[in-house]
Amino acid sequence: MKNVLVIGATGQIGSELTMELRKRYGGSHVVAGYIIGAEPKGELLESGPSEIADVTDAEAIVKVVKKYDIDTIYNLAALLSVVAESWPRLAWKIGVDGLWNVLEVAREHHCALFTPSSIGSFGLTTPHVMTPQDTIQRPTTIYGVSKVTTELLSDYYFLKYGVDTRAVRFPGIISYVTPPGGGTTDYAVDIYYSAVRGEKFVCPIKQGTLMDMIYMPDALHAAIQLMEADPTKLVHRNAFNLASMSFAPETIYAAIKRHVPEFEMEYKVDPLKQHIADSWPDCMDDSCARSEWGWQPQYDLEAMTVDMLEKLRLKLDK
Catalytic residues: 143
What are phi and psi for residue 138, nearest 5 degrees? -125, 70
Number of residues located near ligand AKB, criterion CB under 6 A: 12
Q: Is 120 in the site for ligand AKB (CB under 6 A)?
A: yes
Q: State the minimum distance, in angstroms, from the CB of residue 45 to ligand AKB.
A: 25
From 82, 23, 102, 137, select the one nearest 276 (Cα to Cα): 82
Site string for ligand AKB, 140-159 (x = CB under 6 A): ---x----------------
One of 3, 81, 209, 244 touching ligand AKB (CB under 6 A): 81
What are phi and psi for residue 203, nearest 5 degrees? -90, 125
Q: Is 80 in the site for ligand AKB (CB under 6 A)?
A: yes
- By beta-carbon proximity to ligand AKB, the closer residue of 31 and 168 is 168
Q: State the minimum distance, in angstroms, from the CB of residue 183 to ligand AKB.
A: 3
User: Which are the contacts of 136, defined by CB distance < 8 A and separation ≥ 6?
Assistant: 122, 123, 125, 126, 127
- By beta-carbon proximity to ligand AKB, the closer residue of 3 and 295 is 295
User: Which are the contacts of 314, defined by CB distance < 8 A and separation ≥ 6?
Assistant: none
Q: Is 126 in the site for ligand AKB (CB under 6 A)?
A: no
Q: Is 131 in the site for ligand AKB (CB under 6 A)?
A: no
How far, in Å, CA of 247 to CA of 62, rounded? 42
Q: State the minimum distance, in angstroms, from the CB of residue 40 to ligand AKB.
A: 22
User: Which are the contacts of 133, defined by CB distance < 8 A and separation ≥ 6?
Assistant: 236, 240, 241, 285, 286, 287, 288
Residue type present at position 226: L
Helices 301-316 & 187-197 angle (0-180, nearest 10)? 50
- By beta-carbon proximity to ligand AKB, the closer residue of 242 and 256 is 242
- By beta-carbon proximity to ligand AKB, the closer residue of 111 and 122 is 122
How far, in Å, CA of 217 to CA of 117, rounded? 18
Q: State the minimum distance, in angstroms, from the CB of residue 274 to ligand AKB.
A: 12
How far, in Å, CA of 4 to CA of 111, rounded? 9
Alpha helices in the chain (DSSP H): 12-25, 42-46, 58-67, 81-86, 88-92, 98-109, 142-161, 187-197, 216-228, 249-257, 271-279, 287-293, 301-316
- By beta-carbon proximity to ligand AKB, the closer residue of 147 and 237 is 147
Residues 166-205 interacting with ligand AKB (rule: CB under 6 A): 170, 172, 180, 183-185
Q: State the minimum distance, in angstroms, from the CB of residue 145 to ligand AKB.
A: 13
- By beta-carbon proximity to ligand AKB, the closer residue of 112 and 276 is 276
One of 101, 118, 175, 194 touching ligand AKB (CB under 6 A): 118
Q: State the minimum distance, in angstroms, from the CB of residue 80 to ligand AKB.
A: 4
Q: Which spans of this chain sit near ligand AKB (rule: CB under 6 A)?
A: 80-81, 118-120, 143, 170, 172, 180, 183-185
